[in-house]
Amino acid sequence: MEQKVQHAADLFERASHLIEALPYVRQFYGKTVVIKCGGSAMTESDEMRNMMQDVALLYFCGIRPVIIHGGGSEISDLCQRLNIDVKFHEGQRVTDEHTLDIVQMVLSGKVNKSLVMQLNQTGVKAVGLSGQDAKFLQVETFSPDSPLGYVGKITHIDTELMQTLLTAGFIPVIAPLGVDAQGQTYNINGDFAASAIASSLRAEKLMILSDVDGLYAERNDPSSKLSVLTTEAANNLLVENKISGGMIPKLQACNEAVEQGVSTAHIINGKKRHSLLLEILTNHGIGTMITKGD
């Protein structure tokens, strides 16, 4: 009898969680949410599968997800196996001609198609593409002598392809590669690509998945996590050098998105199960939310 009572209590608790999500489902129904995943936050197949299930749930709740993925750890692994040096500059991968070949193979091939497969198995309709398709991500080099090599900055986004897919009920899964006016392919930092795409689509949210719980007021101190941050406060963290490594482009990307009209940007721990749902559909988010402020 006691076991049945406990089982009933568990069911009521589950139902209460569903009811808690109702106002958020209503608020974000029909809205576009851009999700940047990959890299260190998605190194295990189970993590990837769980995250794609969360994305599918958002889709079936009437939210329009767009996924931009990285693949940093797999790119680095393959480079090392092929004896190609792995270098970073201010949190971004240095991409020479040989590394660019690896980047294209990993991003457009292995990672992109794996995510598409995982999503399609949940019952949604996902389509994989990169910024090379229809040249919808147009880029230019940072400068002729840029230490980053073949890493481009986005100059124009043609949203027609993405809007067509979204209107038809597909989830676009995008590899962050772009082309310049001469047809040269460039690697694009996934965080900046997600930010620019979110802005161009007038997205409601930009979600950047990392392997930490959010931003910390004191570097490497999880107890100092910041739940809500204005773009002004975020810029101060950057100026004061309180953010380092790969978190620098993540915070810069969030700031740019919010400054360009995205309602809120979030940095969450993609390794934690259901972190995406908890951040979007519950009263208490679990990451750091960046807002415009007053």
- Pairing type for strands 152-157 and 137-141 reads antiparallel
Q: Enumerate the domain spans of the chain.
A: 29-291
Q: How confident is the model at residue 205 (pLDDT cuts 50, 70, 90)?
A: very high
The pLDDT confidence band at residue 58, using thresholds 50, 70 and 90, is very high
Which CATH architecture best describes the domain 29-291? 3-Layer(aba) Sandwich (3.40)
- pLDDT reported for residue 140: 95
Mean of the per-residue pLDDT values for the chain? 89
The pLDDT of residue 5 is: 47
φ/ψ (deg, to 5) at 202 = 55, 45
pLDDT per residue as tens digits for the range 238-294: 888 888 777 888 999 999 999 999 999 999 998 888 999 999 998 777 899 999 876
Model pLDDT, residue 12: 65
Name beta bridge partners: 33: 65, 205
With 90 as the cut, is the pLDDT of residue 40 above it? Answer: no
For 138-158, give one letter per residue: b (16+ CB within 10 A) or e. bbebeeeeeebbbbbbbeebe
Distance, CA of 126 to CA of 266 (rounded, Å): 23
At 19, is the pLDDT very low, low, confident or very high (cuts 50, 70, 90)? confident
Instruction: Quote the longest CA-to-CA distance of the chain.
Output: 75
> Residue 227 CB: number of other CB atoms within 10 A?
12
pLDDT of amino acid 241: 83
Contact indicator for 42, 209 with CB cutoff of 8 Å: yes
Q: Which residue has the higher pLDDT, 36 or 19?
A: 36
Note the pLDDT tens digit of each residue in 172-200. Answer: 999 999 999 999 999 999 999 999 999 99
For the whole model, what pTM was predicted?
0.90
